[in-house]
């Protein structure tokens, strides 16, 4: 009996070691995270950055394999560029400094372009050549390294901040690797601008128990969002969108679109909560990424609340350098369209992402033209504006999620022109009683009247409600999520693919 038990445990351990490591995997929750925190706690404070850097490279290597070399090459190029840009010998040579900046930015953009967009561009050229009767052209499809969009933006932030003089160049390679490769935010954000982290990298004072007490409940909240809510809604959304290429009726389309809107919010905000909580446990304060986005009164307000670190990045490094809103209305509208075109492409190399970005850019331009980007004055209009904004965002999510534009149009047609019929049998099977309850509760949570974001309340709140929330996620939500993880019901985070 004991031999069989040991054999089972060994097999289970080997199975766990053979899985991909994500925040919601047994390998991470039961081995990697406890081991990293234990080493972090036991070693002297001056070694904090070294511990985080080493753990981060192990974490990334486990998931990316040989693509770790690409990450390290990018780290080396940008570290060297930062030293050159920050050197006193270059202060009186503005042309040379600009050349170094352009070279570093060019390398970063080239890495992203080759690995993320070369295949898409090749397929478009091949389709055009075939349409013109010229035959097929070669198409090179490269595997997408995980987190490439995020660590590229971190590198760009670093070299631009140093060039602008916003912060000194980082001379310690260990601290620089810690900033770029920090495993809580390496794969799916939040996107951390260098000037936000520069001071923290040099401050190794630690309140171990305080950081753990503050960070773990936030991590537990994110884990519950992901495993209990997002993963419960995923089968409904997947089953509905699988019908988008054929005959799909109106009830199926609306249920699928709504389920995906809830899934992507709880999945991505759950990851962000886990990242912020992990960062806190390691002594870092990462920026917030969500602030109840489905309570927004306009699409402009939505982008102040959704993926806030991405919005701030595009604002500081693209929108403002293009002129922002300082050069008249036409250029402001152009700048908005440029930013959201890039935002769509940043999410993925496909026409659906490009159209989604243009769609949001056009909505922001329309709101500025109509004056709807400002808060509503009358109380009665708040609910109306919130409902209209949520509907517009929902349309965007259909385009974002669909496999192709024809499937997106088919889904939207079913949503806005009556196509009678009962729920598709696969969708009805996926929408069992437990998932319907989760769907209903999740919908009620995201459309409830505006209030403080739960993540911030749990981590920073001091009142009775905050203490009750911390106790609930620590002693109820986290164990429930751990049981689901142990049962193997988790799935990869949606933003791992970006």
Kindly list the domain boundaries of the chain, sorted by start residue: 21-205, 209-297+375-497
Instruction: Please check the confidence at residue 14 and state whether its pLDDT lies above 60.
Output: no
> Could you tell me the CA-to-CA distances from 361 to 312, 332, 364, 374 in Å, in that order?
15, 11, 5, 16
DSSP state of 230: I
Per the rule left: phi > 0, alpha: psi between -120 and 50, beta: everything else, 83 is alpha
Highest mean pLDDT among 95-99, 127-131, 294-298: 294-298
Continuous H helices in 371-432: 379-401, 405-416, 425-430
User: What is the structure's pLDDT at 498?
Assistant: 63
Residues in Cβ contact with 461 at an 8 Å cutoff, skipping those fewer than 6 apart: 452, 467, 469
The catalytic residues are 347
- Residues 131-158: what's their mean pLDDT? 82
137 cis-preceded (ω within 30 degrees of 0): no
Q: Minimum mean pLDDT among 66-80, 112-126, 356-370, 431-445: which range? A: 112-126
CB 349 within 8 A of CB 141: no
Distance in angstroms between the alpha carbons of the first and the last residue of the chain: 47
CA–CA dist 414, 366 (Å, integer)? 25
User: What is the structure's pLDDT at 13?
Assistant: 38
- Residues 62-73: what's their mean pLDDT? 89
Q: pLDDT digits over 25-61, tens only? A: 888 888 899 999 999 888 888 888 899 999 999 999 9
Q: What is the DSSP string of 335-350?
A: HHHHHHHHHHHHH-SS
CA–CA dist 172, 176 (Å, integer)? 6
């Amino acid at each position: 009996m004991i031999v069989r038990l040991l054999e089972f445990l060994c097999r289970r351990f080997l199975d766990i070691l053979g899985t991909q490591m994500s925040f919601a995997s047994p390998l991470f929750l039961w081995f990697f995270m406890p081991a990293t925190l234990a080493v972090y706690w036991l070693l002297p404070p001056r070694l904090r950055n070294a511990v985080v850097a080493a753990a981060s490279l192990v974490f990334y290597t486990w998931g990316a394999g040989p693509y770790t070399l690409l990450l390290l090459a990018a780290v080396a190029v940008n570290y060297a560029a930062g030293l050159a840009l920050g050197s006193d010998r270059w202060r009186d040579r503005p042309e040379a400094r600009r050349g170094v900046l352009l070279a570093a930015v060019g390398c970063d953009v080239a890495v992203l372009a080759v690995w993320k967009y070369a295949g898409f561009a090749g397929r478009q050229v091949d389709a055009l050549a075939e349409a013109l009767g010229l035959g097929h052209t070669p198409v090179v499809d490269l595997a997408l390294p995980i987190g490439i969009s995020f660590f590229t933006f971190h590198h760009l932030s670093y070299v631009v901040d140093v060039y602008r003089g916003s912060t000194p160049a980082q001379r310690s390679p260990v601290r620089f690797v810690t900033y770029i490769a920090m495993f809580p935010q390496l794969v799916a954000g939040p996107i951390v601008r260098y000037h936000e982290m520069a001071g923290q990298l040099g401050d190794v004072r630690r309140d171990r128990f305080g950081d753990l007490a503050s960070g773990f409940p936030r991590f537990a909240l994110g884990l519950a969002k992901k495993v209990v809510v997002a993963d419960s809604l995923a089968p409904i959304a997947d089953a509905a969108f699988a019908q988008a290429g054929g005959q799909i009726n109106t009830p199926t389309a609306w249920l699928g679109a709504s389920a995906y809107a809830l899934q992507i919010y709880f999945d991505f905000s759950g990851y962000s909560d886990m990242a912020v909580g992990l960062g806190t446990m390691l002594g870092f304060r990462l920026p917030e990424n969500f602030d109840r986005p489905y309570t927004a009164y306009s699409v402009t307000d939505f982008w102040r609340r959704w993926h806030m670190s991405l919005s701030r990045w595009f604002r500081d490094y693209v929108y403002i350098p293009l002129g922002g809103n300082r050069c008249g209305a036409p250029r402001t509208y152009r700048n908005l369209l440029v930013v959201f075109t890039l935002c769509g492409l940043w999410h993925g190399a496909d026409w659906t992402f490009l159209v989604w970005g243009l769609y949001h850019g056009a909505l922001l331009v329309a709101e500025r033209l109509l004056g709807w980007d400002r808060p509503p004055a009358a109380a009665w209009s708040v609910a109306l504006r919130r409902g209209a904004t949520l509907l517009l965002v929902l349309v965007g999510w259909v385009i974002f999620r669909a496999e192709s534009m024809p499937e997106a149009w088919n889904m939207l047609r079913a949503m806005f022109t009556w196509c009678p019929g009962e729920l598709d049998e696969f969708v009805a099977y996926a929408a069992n009683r437990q998932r319907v309850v989760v769907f209903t509760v999740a919908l009620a949570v995201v459309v409830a009247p505006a209030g403080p974001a739960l993540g911030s309340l749990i981590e920073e709140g001091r009142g009775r409600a905050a203490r009750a929330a911390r106790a609930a996620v620590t002693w109820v939500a986290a164990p429930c999520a751990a049981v689901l993880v142990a049962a193997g019901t988790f799935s990869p985070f949606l933003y791992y693919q970006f």
